[in-house]
Amino acid sequence: MRVATAIFCLCLQIIACKGSNFADKDNSSRKDGDAAPVADDQDDAIALEPTAIGGAYLGCFADPQISPELVTGKTSDELAVGCQVFEDSNFTRVKDSNRVVVEGGEVEVAGSRRALAIQAVVQHPRWGWVTRVPLQALRTNLFLQARANPSASLVRVRVELLDLLPSGLLTGSQALLSGFYKLRIKDTVFCAHGNPEWGWDAISKKPIVDPVVVNSCNNAIPFRFTRFEGGVRIHVPNPKPLTCDTQNYAVEHCNDSCIDLEDFGLGNRFVLWACTKSLEAQSYALIPSIQGAVRIQGNGRPLTLFGGLLIPDLGTTVDIEVLPVLP
């Protein structure tokens, strides 16, 4: 029986790799402590990642910025999690005509399973559902009970819990305009970092600034995003703002330091400098990449990494993961 079951599951995986959204799973091998089975006439399926359901892809992400009122009962050893349905497996576009229903789920941590209380949210700028999980669940799998539409069969789908804000939400009208974020080099523990304090050389009439570098994400500064001229500004509060010399720079304000591409977008390094009206230097495009990451581009020049510095380069680029954090 065990051999037959194993061969059966293997065949289903092969079929799924050829384009099937779901692989049927035999419930006869379910052990005590597993999720309760759905009705006998329904499929209990586990999709190969990334998870496709109803022609869309379900993704779940740790988000500490979710309002506490939406995840009541969350403790200090738990993460707030938001889930959404996307059009593609890289989470670059939220599916507008979404009819997916998520009815519950569970997570396995340290060999034991815990039921998840899944709450649907309406008109949220990011998420369709929210829940809370143990801290140890990050980068593990959530097992959700979902339907492709309200009348479809209930299926069991597997979703990897990630800790970034996916690119499909970064391009939304409101999802990125509040809160603080760290910019992590994909698949590393290093984030963009810099000195938000800058000076002014009265003789040369030039700013005294430091380059944007990479540092351990635990020690890196968080940034904010603001819509600007078809792109976004990426900035951080200046702890010691100076009086701006508006005769030499079209400076809007000095209370914030923006990531600035020197020489009005033509320079060879990114620095932190007063937020100006320079479209070329301080308006950035967030271009969707793989697995929810983005590529940052300023004045047609993608951000890349060299010698511990984030610099502009016309030939190469790096993928950036935007991490929501609390101030």
pLDDT over 60 at 312, yes or no: yes
Q: What are phi and psi of 295, to 5 degrees?
A: -115, 130
Give me the chain's average pLDDT, please. Answer: 82
Nearest Cα to Cα of residue 326 among 124, 144, 149, 181 = 181
Of the two residues 3 and 196, the one the predictor is more confident about is: 196
- What's the CA gap between 52 and 46, in Å, rounded? 10
Distance (Å, whole) CA 141 – CA 114? 12
Rounded to 5 degrees, what are φ and ψ at 254? -110, 0
Fold type of domain 168-325:
Trefoil (Acidic Fibroblast Growth Factor, subunit A) (2.80.10)
Query: Two tokens at 7?
Result: 């061969």
- Domain borders along the chain are 18-163, 168-325
Question: What pLDDT, in 10s, does the model give residues 178-203?
Answer: 899 999 999 999 999 999 998 878 78
Percent of the chain clearing pLDDT 90 (strictly above): 59
Q: Which of 33-42, 262-271, 310-319 has the lowest mean pLDDT?
A: 33-42
Q: Report pLDDT for 48.
A: 39
3-state secondary structure 264-279: CCCCCCEEEEEEECCH
pLDDT at residue 208, rounded to an integer = 86
116/142 Cα distance (integer angstroms): 9
Where are the extended beta strands (E) located within 45-194?
52-53, 56-62, 78-86, 101-109, 112-116, 119-120, 129-134, 141-147, 155-162, 180-185, 190-193
Which of 10-14, 211-215, 219-223 is predicted least confidently?
Answer: 10-14
12, pLDDT greater than 70: no
Q: Distance between CA 296 and CA 53 in Å, rounded? A: 30
* Rounded distance between C-alpha atoms, residue 198 and residue 218, angstroms: 23
The domain 18-163 having CATH identifier 2.30.30: the answer here is no
pLDDT tens digits for 36-54? Answer: 333 333 334 443 346 678 8
Strand partners, 325: 180
What are the backbone dihedrals phi and psi of residue 73, each rounded to the nearest 5 degrees, phi first? Answer: 90, 0
Rounded alpha-carbon distances, angstroms, from residue 267 to 167, 231, 261, 279, 299: 27, 19, 6, 14, 10
pLDDT in tens, 214-229: 999 999 999 999 998 8
User: Where does 110-173 show beta strands of DSSP type E?
Assistant: 112-116, 119-120, 129-134, 141-147, 155-162
Residue pLDDT, tens place only, 144-183: 999 999 999 999 999 999 999 999 998 766 778 889 999 9
Per-residue confidence (pLDDT) for residue 52, from 0 to 100: 77
Assign residue 85 a region: left if phi > 0, alpha if psi is -120 to 50, beta otherwise?
beta
- pLDDT reported for residue 149: 92
> What residues have CB less than 8 Å from 1, skipping those under 6 apart?
none
The per-residue pLDDT for 23 is 33
Tallying the residues shown for the chain, one arrives at: 327
Whether the CB-CB separation of 120 and 104 falls below 8 Å is answered with no
In sequence order, the β-bridge partners of residue 80 are 132
